[in-house]
């Protein structure tokens, strides 16, 4: 009887933790979207274009850790399932050392960038965006390392509470643009970055107690680098339309495209959060069974859960985004049609969600090749036919088509990898 109650309590506790984490991640896109709506209402499209063009650089620095954090995210649960706690601790030590190194190098690069632009007479809006960029370059590597220890250790309840706290503060500070416009946006985002780092650091379950080792560094890179490359290429694909618009159009056009960016970044959080919740379970299951077919059930789960959460939001957004913008954000009316196309493109995120399986099975090669082809096709087409890709709406439509093609490939390939005879 005692064993029964203990087991039941454990299941209830795990369910409660998962609910806290899932609900907190649903709060993220809501608070982020509302905060961004407030920002664009009180910031001109041109200044939002400046902000986005600088912060886009973060996507192009995500490779510096060579996949160590992705490797740690997979390996903690993997080696715990194999009952090797010493390996877990050594890998945490190694990952933290890498995080410190990347943080220092990134911040130095950001400072040099600031000095360079300062001597080239950039306006205050541009320089403040670089200050925010530097803050993120400092904290993101460390924050990513900390978050990997929470996720792979299945500390979802604790992580969920942290996410609630940081987004509650962000919801409050996101009101600052109403009072001080662009400056309020910079202050709000800076506070969120620093506070999110503090919360993760102060509640750590697995702490570093050494510098790590070369052996564990190579193991983390071996596992994580393919995941990093696929994630990095995926990130480049996500921002490809924004990057092309930033390079080839006036900053005001990138400002109009802010609506699309808000929708995409808000929706991506949902499948990322669901996959983060399922990832340690999938990794532990594969470690125990060593059967790819054991992961087939998770293809259905990820698609179903994401469809239930994302679909209603996207349907409502598609039919009401025009009225919302016309009523409250009239400066951004020119971005409505592109935003609608990107809302439709977000449905492909549901079909793409099983891609998490590639990292667990260490079967990223074919996916990387296909993703590279899709990304190359986007850039080649845009530069080969500049007269055709002359509006942000055409760019959004082309990105939508490529997103559908990529999502169908991911679904078919994950089904192939998890066949019974594999």
Write the pLDDT tens digit of every residue in 31-48: 777 777 788 788 888 888
* Confidence check: pLDDT of 239 > 60: yes
Given CA atoms 165, 166, 171, 175 in this order, what sign does their dihedral have?
positive
What is the mean pLDDT of the segment spanning 5-15?
A: 50
| Per-residue confidence (pLDDT) for residue 4, from 0 to 100 | 42
Q: What is the pLDDT confidence band of residue 53, given thresholds at 50, 70 and 90?
A: confident
What is the mean pLDDT of the segment spanning 183-201?
A: 92
Contacts of residue 62, defined as CB under 8 A and 6 or more positions apart, other chains included, come to 228, 231, 232, 235
Residue 358 in contact with residue 230, Cβ under 8 Å?
A: yes
| Per-residue confidence (pLDDT) for residue 130, from 0 to 100 | 92
* Confidence check: pLDDT of 369 > 70: yes
Q: Which residue has the higher pLDDT, 370 or 2?
A: 370
Nearest CA to 76 out of 130, 146, 25, 164 is that of 146
**Main-chain dihedrals φ then ψ at residue 420, nearest 5 degrees:** -55, -40
Which of 52-66, 225-239, 254-268, 298-312 ranks highest by mean pLDDT? 298-312
**Main-chain dihedrals φ then ψ at residue 123, nearest 5 degrees:** -75, 170
Measured distance CA(132)–CA(187) in Å, rounded: 8
| Per-residue confidence (pLDDT) for residue 270, from 0 to 100 | 76
Radius of gyration, alpha carbons of the chain: 22
Q: What is the pLDDT confidence band of residue 105, given thresholds at 50, 70 and 90?
A: very high
Nearest CA to 294 out of 154, 153, 422 is that of 422
Lowest mean pLDDT segment, chosen from 252-266, 328-342, 389-403: 252-266
Q: Which two tokens stand for residue 130?
A: 């670089």
| Per-residue confidence (pLDDT) for residue 8, from 0 to 100 | 47
* Confidence check: pLDDT of 13 > 60: no
The full set of domain ranges for the chain reads 239-422
Nearest CA to 99 out of 65, 70, 133, 57 is that of 65
Residue written as token pair 């509640």 = 203
Q: 158-176: b or e for each residue (b if 16 or more CB lie within 10 Å)?
A: bbbbbbbbbbebbbebbeb
Write the pLDDT tens digit of every residue in 242-290: 889 888 888 788 888 877 877 787 777 778 777 767 777 777 777 777 7
| Per-residue confidence (pLDDT) for residue 5, from 0 to 100 | 41
User: What does the DSSP assignment read for 188-239?
Assistant: HHHHHHHHHHHHHHHT-SS---S---HHHHHHHHHHHHHHHHHHHHHHHHHT
Q: What is the pLDDT confidence band of residue 402, given thresholds at 50, 70 and 90?
A: very high
* Confidence check: pLDDT of 179 > 70: yes
User: What does the DSSP assignment read for 83-105?
Assistant: T-HHHHHHHHHHHHHHHHHHHHH
The helix (H) or strand (E) run that includes residue 350 is helix 348-352
Write the pLDDT tens digit of every residue in 371-387: 999 999 999 999 899 88
| Per-residue confidence (pLDDT) for residue 187, from 0 to 100 | 93
* Confidence check: pLDDT of 2 > 90: no
| Per-residue confidence (pLDDT) for residue 344, from 0 to 100 | 92
What is the mean pLDDT of the segment spanning 167-181?
A: 89
Write down the mean pLDDT value for the chain. 83
Lowest mean pLDDT segment, chosen from 184-198, 217-231, 386-400: 217-231
Contacts of residue 264, defined as CB under 8 A and 6 or more positions apart, other chains included, come to 238, 342, 345, 346
Residue 95 in contact with residue 220, Cβ under 8 Å?
A: yes
Q: Which two tokens stand for residue 44?
A: 């001109």
Write the pLDDT tens digit of every residue in 117-132: 888 878 888 899 999 9
Residue written as token pair 């649903």 = 26
Nearest CA to 48 out of 57, 37, 62, 32 is that of 37
* CA angle centred on 405, ends 403 and 407, rounded to 5°: 65
CA 332 to chain centre: 25
Write the pLDDT tens digit of every residue in 282-310: 777 777 777 877 788 888 888 888 888 88
| Per-residue confidence (pLDDT) for residue 214, from 0 to 100 | 85
Q: Which residue has the higher pLDDT, 394 or 267?
A: 394
Q: Which residue has the higher pLDDT, 209 or 17?
A: 209
Q: Which residue has the higher pLDDT, 310 or 409?
A: 409
| Per-residue confidence (pLDDT) for residue 9, from 0 to 100 | 43
Residue 374 in contact with residue 404, Cβ under 8 Å?
A: no
Q: Which two tokens stand for residue 187?
A: 């202050």
């Amino acid at each position: 009887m005692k064993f029964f109650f203990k087991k039941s309590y454990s299941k209830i506790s795990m369910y409660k933790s998962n609910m806290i984490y899932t609900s907190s991640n649903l709060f993220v896109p809501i608070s982020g979207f509302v905060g961004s709506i407030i920002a664009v209402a009180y910031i001109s499209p041109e200044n939002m274009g400046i902000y986005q063009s600088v912060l886009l650089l973060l996507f192009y620095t995500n490779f510096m850790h060579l996949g160590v954090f992705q490797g740690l995210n997979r390996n903690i649960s993997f080696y715990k399932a194999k009952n090797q706690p010493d390996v877990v601790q050594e890998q945490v030590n190694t990952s933290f050392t890498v995080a410190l190194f990347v943080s220092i190098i990134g911040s130095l690069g950001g400072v040099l960038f600031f000095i360079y632009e300062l001597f080239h007479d950039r306006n205050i809006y541009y320089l403040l965006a670089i200050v925010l960029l530097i803050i993120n370059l400092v904290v993101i590597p460390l924050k990513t390392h900390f978050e990997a220890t929470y996720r792979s250790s299945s500390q979802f309840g604790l992580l969920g509470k942290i996410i609630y706290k940081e987004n509650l503060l962000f919801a409050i500070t996101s009101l600052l643009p109403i009072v001080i416009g662009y400056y309020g946006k910079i202050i709000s985002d800076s506070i969120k970055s620093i506070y999110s780092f503090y919360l993760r650091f102060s509640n750590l379950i697995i702490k570093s107690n050494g510098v790590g080792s070369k052996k564990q560094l190579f193991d983390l890179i071996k596992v994580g680098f393919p995941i990093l490359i696929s994630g990095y290429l995926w990130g480049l694909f996500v921002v490809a339309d924004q990057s092309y618009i930033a390079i080839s159009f006036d900053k005001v056009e990138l400002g109009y495209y802010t609506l699309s960016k808000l929708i995409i970044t808000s929706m991506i959080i949902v499948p990322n959060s669901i996959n983060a919740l399922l990832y340690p379970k999938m990794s532990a299951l594969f470690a125990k069974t060593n059967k790819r077919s054991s992961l087939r059930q998770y293809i259905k789960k990820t698609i179903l859960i994401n469809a239930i959460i994302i679909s209603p939001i996207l349907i409502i957004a598609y039919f009401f985004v025009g009225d919302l913008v016309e009523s409250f954000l009239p400066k951004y009316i020119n971005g409505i049609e592109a935003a609608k196309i990107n809302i439709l493109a977000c449905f492909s995120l549901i079909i793409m969600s099983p891609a998490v399986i590639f990292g667990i099975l260490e079967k990223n090669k074919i996916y990387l090749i296909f993703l590279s082809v899709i990304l190359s096709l986007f850039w080649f087409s845009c530069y080969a036919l500049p007269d055709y890709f002359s509006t942000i709406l055409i760019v959004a439509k082309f990105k939508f088509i490529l997103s559908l093609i990529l999502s169908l490939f991911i679904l078919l390939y994950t089904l192939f990898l998890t066949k019974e005879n594999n």
